[in-house]
Structure 1
Amino acid sequence: MTHEVLRGVFPVVPTIFDDSGRLDVAGQRRAVDFMIDAGSNGLAILANFSEQFALSDDERNTVQRVVLEHVAGRVPVIVTTTHFSSDVCAARSRAAQDAGAAMVMVMPPYHGATIRVAERGILEFYRRVSDAIDIPVMIQDAPVSGTTLTAAFLARLAREVRNVSYFKIECPQAAAKLRELIELGGDAVIGPWDGEEAITLIPDLDAGATGTMTGGGYPDGIRKIVDVYMAGDTSRAADLYQAWLPLINYENRQTGIATCKILMKEGGVIASDAVRHPLARVHPAARAGLIEIARRLDPLVLRWGR
């Protein structure tokens, strides 16, 4: 089956809670509307930056339904369906496809600090997930899984597993890994992507990345960089990246998962910037620092809801 090639800026949609920690469906819809208005080429839901690990299965289903129905085809949506069980992950992936997902994103199977699966099992895992669906699979290669996925093994997965064709590389030396993956995987690697809040965006674009999955607070800023780069003006893209880098760095190193919610609340997009317990709210001083840096750049998020 032929699918549209996805590229560009696909930020992660945060899961919106009220101050009591319950899902805020109205806020979820507003967050999605803002992110589309801010120029997102597409969206990703139920990712780690969506606090997917703190959601019940029923809540996951609610978020998936609410977002995909509300987006209504305006932009493609990637749904994270990660689970240790091959069968559960396959079922989640099928449900995401049936709900309208353009792609699923799946980490290799892992649990806790020590339970891992060898390469043969990982290959069989992705094959079982792929066989359950007809849409592309993106492999998320991130340190949180504690699983080493070599570029050679990723290229093998691309060649041997029918729907595995996108790769979100957010490990150390990501640019070098992207180059090797593209070289070894050839045409089987349709989407070599960058992640980790765009902290290594320019080197990754230089290495051949065609997409980036960032935080959700300022897609307009990331679009400015990526669009100029893809148009061939790499020098201007580097200048723009330098301008936005303090905010990117603050998200990556200081305020993390809470960043986009803080910015969205400050700009009137959502009513609460709560993260789900036991995650702690960001210290007021760090929150103020984030907003101060953001105001210098005037991102849409600080104006959208005012």
Structure 2
Amino acid sequence: MYNASNARYRGIFPVVPTTFTASGELDLPSQKRCVDFMIDAGSDGLCILANFSEQFLLSDDEREILTKTILEHVAGRVPVIVTTTHFGTTVCAQRSRRAQDMGAAMLMVMPPYHGATFRVGEPQIYEFYAKLSDAVNIPIMIQDAPAAGTPLSAAFLARMAKEIEHVAYFKIETAGAASKLRELIRLGGDAIEGPWDGEEAITLFPDLDAGATGAMTGGGFPDGIRPIIEAHRMGDRDKAYALYQQWLPLINYENRQGGILTAKSLMAEGGVIACEAPRHPWPEMHPDVRAGLIETAKRLDPLVLRWA
């Protein structure tokens, strides 16, 4: 029987953006301020090196630097999930073990994929997560996202949760997320320690209704999203709905307009970080989109615009 109270981790675990200088180098002082802001804004935990962290633009050495820098700077204030996705089973396992040894609380890993067409079938995906589990002793979150182009049925996810020791958390970002969460919980029972919401909280309210106990959102306004989750958890759906309705325009701006640069634009506008530029060749946000984002944010007065 599924029991949400058994979860080690729950609440809002936003993705930490990677901060660069205007010339594209890592900006570690800004990175530390970014983390401090996100903790002060009420994050229950953090996730680093995810797609919204521009992880696909980082070298292996930079991943190591960021993991070490952020985990040492967080210093146990909140748990940190480290994304260790890689197509290669051995490489992913090695990355994951290093992240664990540096202090990661959990790993987030997408199924193996590369480019538009390189995929593997369920037997290989199962073996991939089983070997990853054998290499570590912390929870593994499977990221079920369209970017992988890999269908992962609720039945397959539930089977892995039941049979693979450390597979216990699931970030569901596919179409019909609420229905999939319900089916995952029904089939997996108490093996599903953490059914989580993603996609910048655009589906948060129905996903909470479906049983989601965590949300991995963008990092710009956890102070806006956390109260929605808390009100829902306390059984006050009217308050949760009102708050969700209030913040939905900004959530929409991130999910559908500004994308992965949204958090950095908000942080730069508020003086949290020095530069919001992505790393080439990722395009910068259109100035009109940025203007609309900032206008929308100012109507809500999130901490990101005042923290610095």
Question: What TM-score results when the alignment is normalised by the length of structure 1?
Answer: 0.98
Q: Which amino acid aligns with 2:174?
A: C
Is it true that 1:283 corresponds to 2:294 in the alignment? no
Q: Paired residue for 2:29, among 9, 23, 26?
A: 26
Decide whether the 8 Å contact of 2:195 with 2:213 is kept in 1: yes
Q: Which amino acid aligns with 1:302?
A: L
Q: Which residue of 1 aligns with 2:274?
A: 271
Q: Paired residue for 1:155, among 138, 151, 158?
A: 158
Q: Paired residue for 2:127, among 124, 128, 133?
A: 124
Q: Paired residue for 2:176, among 166, 173, 192?
A: 173
For residue 103 of structure 1, report the CA deviation from its aligned partner. 0.2
Q: Paired residue for 1:102, among 101, 105, 124?
A: 105
Q: Which residue of 1 aligns with 2:56?
A: 53
Q: Which residue of 2 aligns with 1:212?
A: 215
Is it true that 1:222 corresponds to 2:235 in the alignment? no
Unaligned residue ranges in structure 2 (runs of 5+): 1-5
Decide whether the 8 Å contact of 2:129 with 2:164 is kept in 1: yes
Q: Which amino acid aligns with 1:116?
A: R
For residue 4 of structure 1, report the CA deviation from its aligned partner. 6.6
1:97-134 CA distance string (max 9 Å, x none) = 00000000000001111111100000000001000000
Distance, in Å, in 2 between the alignment partners of 1:5 and 1:277 is: 38
1:167-208 CA distance string (max 9 Å, x none) = 000000000000000000001000000000000000000000
Unaligned residue ranges in structure 1 (runs of 5+): none
Is it true that 1:72 corresponds to 2:75 in the alignment? yes
Q: Percent identity?
A: 70
Decide whether the 8 Å contact of 2:228 with 2:241 is kept in 1: yes
Backbone CA RMSD of aligned residues: 0.8
Q: Which residue of 2 aligns with 1:304?
A: 307
4+ residue runs of structure 1 moved beyond 6 angstroms? none
1:3-28 CA distance string (max 9 Å, x none) = 97100000000000011110000000
Distance, in Å, in 2 between the alignment partners of 1:152 and 1:223 is: 30
Is it true that 1:182 corresponds to 2:158 in the alignment? no
Q: Which residue of 2 aligns with 1:43?
A: 46
Alignment length, in residue pairs? 303
Question: What TM-score results when the alignment is normalised by the length of structure 2?
Answer: 0.98
Q: Paired residue for 1:257, among 255, 260, 264?
A: 260
Distance, in Å, in 1 between the alignment partners of 2:165 and 2:244 is: 36
